[in-house]
Structure 1
């Protein structure tokens, strides 16, 4: 799972705490805020560490745009991937760039090749409630390789708020909303289904993410291990 973190709802924005709290209920909204996650495989063995940091925020009217920098290291501490993506906050909604749905392994594998990326952003409203249905999201990547085009599609569908529960990680204990989604990836003629759950806590963001196979067994977990703002 260390190269396939495709559902990371980490949305940290704003220039001041007061403005930020009006914009998003679930994130600290501070430039420089940093979250560290450890990725575990299905045997609960660590496979790497991902660090997310808000590097830039800019507010215009009632819309705030921000940039999140991501650094991924393997279990030995070797850097294997770096990138960033954008997100914005407006009114009652945080919107995350659809490019965050692209598996990081794809950027690494096809680095330097021509890539055309399109899709629908991930939305996370402030007023979450158990049973609530959320909008779908998707991304399509077209890669040109020597005159041959390869298309990959990731669809995040059936998103819903399942429940509330308390989760304890090395970063602390958090009261969370749990969001379930069916994540379907299609590359060439190969289809893969990977349901997942994400735990969100007010003022922090994503606390935990777990992915499953078709039988419902866990195949990988991402856990918040450090947080600062």
Structure 2
């Protein structure tokens, strides 16, 4: 459960930056646009594939809203989960609704088990314009799950977010001029903490090109690369 929440939260931040053709220069705003990312473990072996599709785009006043569909399959091609989440772009800032980050099938499953879930947090905010040295706002989500008098609390936070530099990155999808963003991801369950450091490469007109996750001691845990992009 904790790992799933962290995965969804980090994935959402990766794909939420500056959403909207009229709202940003980073991501294309076309319904049906799709991305495919291959996830690799620390040894460089394929661990699964994450696919994203722009499902719906609407305008409400000065705001642009989009629904992003997410599907994750393991290394054998079996679907692990699918979900969607909501993004709003307004006043030169993109906000991700933290409550929509949780897969609906997971929410229904726990509800059927008689479990109550209380979700709170801070929407992920990302500015449209990036510059080297820029610091980005922190984000977090907290989940309190209770059943038959027992409660389990899970907290995931993204902190120390900063635009480090610009550099060229090559993946199976091509070569891209990217901004490198670093951040710290900390998850806590019933007092037990786990900290990960993330490097995220973003390209104008495409979005996330590459992402690497490291342990607190600097050892590589996983890598994700853009392998297909259809607009």
TM (normalized to structure 1)?
0.89
8 Å Cα contact 2:57-2:67 kept in structure 1: yes
Q: Distance in 1 between matches of 2:49 and 2:122?
A: 27
- The equivalences for 1:61-76 within 5 A come to 61-76=61-76
Structure 1 residue 12: Cα displacement: 8.3
Q: Quote the RMSD (CA, aligned, Å).
A: 2.3
C-alpha separation in 1, matches of 2:155 and 2:16: 23
Answering whether residue 191 of structure 2 is matched by residue 217 of structure 1, we say no
Instruction: Tell me the residue number matched to 1:17.
Output: none
Number of paired residues? 221
**Distance in structure 1 (CA, Å) of the matches to 2:143 and 2:173:** 35
Match of 1:7 in 2: 10
Question: How is 1:7-86 mapped onto 2 (pairs within 5 angstroms)?
Answer: 7-8=10-11, 9-11=14-16, 20-86=20-86
Deviation larger for 141-150 or 161-170:
141-150
Q: CA deviation at 1:32?
A: 1.2
Give the TM-score taking structure 2 as reference length: 0.88
TM superposition shift of 1:164: 0.6
Does structure 1 retain, via aligned residues, the 8 Å contact 2:18–2:26?
A: no
1:23-172 alignment runs, 5 A limit: 23-99=23-99, 107=106, 111-112=110-111, 113-172=115-174
Q: Tell me: CA distance 1:69–1:226, structure 2 relative to 1, closer, same or farther (3 Å).
A: same
Q: How far, CA to CA, are the matches of 1:60 and 1:221 in structure 2?
A: 37
CA displacement at 1:157 relative to structure 2: 0.6
Q: Is the 8 A contact 2:120 2:143 kept in 1?
A: yes
Q: Which has the higher helix share?
A: 2
In the TM superposition, residue 121 of structure 1 has moved relative to its aligned partner by: 1.3
Deviations 1:141-187 (A, max 9, x none): 11122221111001111110011111111111111101111111000
Residue ranges of structure 2 left out of the alignment (5+ in a row): none
Tell me the secondary structure at the aligned position of residue 7 of structure 1.
helix
Deviation at 1:100, TM superposition (A): 7.0
